[in-house]
């Protein structure tokens, strides 16, 4: 049986557009809170830690790099790190303590009060993200969950919850990277690392 490509094409785009519209309507307030706490953290000498599993690990690395290196143009670096990249640490923690401690152990090692931790999990039920947030709570680190519709088990541990209104993993992941990219751009502007008037003019030109 072969796929009806036109039907598949239309359904995927329709679902994406629907989730995008609902995300835009529902998550503006928590996004604004994320931006403010992250701005305050960086200005006070803190950092942003990203972590997740699988595709969410890739998103963590992507977003940490956008902040530490550059997003739109060259500017001062923003303190950000992905806890998904050190294979020696990951394998040692997994072997010695268990996979569920993968991120919590690193948070305990390098996290400090005033930092921001962004845990990315489409289900909201990743045990290692949950344990990391428990450690964050102990240390006074702000917890931000990028999840799906229900928020999952991680929801009660989140100071800020961006729960994409969908139960489809692909759509949730699409919104996570969209929200993440928007966060990088907004944080650059909020920290005064880019010229707001220039950025607004570029956006106007792009839309026009």
Strand order in the sheet with 80-82: 80-82, 48-52, 116-120, 142-147, 160-163
CB 181, CB 190: distance < 8 Å: no
Total residue length of the chain: 208
For range 189-206, the mean pLDDT: 74
121 contacts 152 by C-beta, under 8 angstroms: yes
Per residue in 60-90, pLDDT tens?
Answer: 999 999 999 999 889 999 999 999 999 999 9
Residue 63: Cβ-neighbour burial (10 angstroms; 0-12, 13-18, 19+): buried
pLDDT band at 59 (very low <50, low <70, confident <90, very high): very high
Locus of tokens 């050190």 = 86
Q: What is the model's pLDDT at position 204?
A: 64
Domain spanning 12-178: which superfamily? Glucose-6-phosphate isomerase like protein; domain 1 (3.40.50.10490)
**pTM for this prediction:** 0.93
Give the span between the Cα atoms of 104 and 93, in whole angstroms. 10
Residue 80 has what DSSP assignment? E
């Amino acid at each position: 049986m072969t796929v009806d490509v036109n039907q598949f094409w239309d359904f995927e785009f329709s679902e994406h557009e629907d989730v995008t519209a609902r995300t835009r309507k529902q998550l503006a307030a928590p996004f604004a809170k994320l931006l403010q706490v992250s701005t305050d953290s960086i200005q006070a000498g803190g950092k942003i830690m990203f972590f997740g599993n699988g595709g969410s690990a890739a998103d963590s690395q992507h977003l940490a790099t956008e902040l530490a290196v550059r997003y739109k143009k060259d500017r001062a670096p923003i303190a950000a790190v992905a806890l998904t990249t050190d294979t020696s640490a990951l394998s040692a923690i997994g072997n010695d303590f268990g996979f569920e401690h993968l991120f919590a152990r690193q948070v305990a090692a390098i996290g400090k009060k005033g930092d921001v931790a962004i845990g990315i999990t489409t289900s909201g039920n990743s045990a290692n993200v949950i344990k990391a947030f428990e450690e964050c709570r102990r240390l006074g680190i702000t917890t931000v969950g990028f999840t799906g519709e229900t928020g999952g088990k991680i929801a009660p541990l989140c100071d800020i919850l961006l729960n994409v209104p969908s139960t489809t993993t692909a759509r949730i992941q699409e919104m996570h990277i969209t929200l993440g990219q928007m966060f990088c751009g907004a944080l650059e502007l909020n920290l005064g690392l880019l010229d707001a008037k220039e950025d607004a003019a570029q956006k106007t030109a792009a839309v026009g």
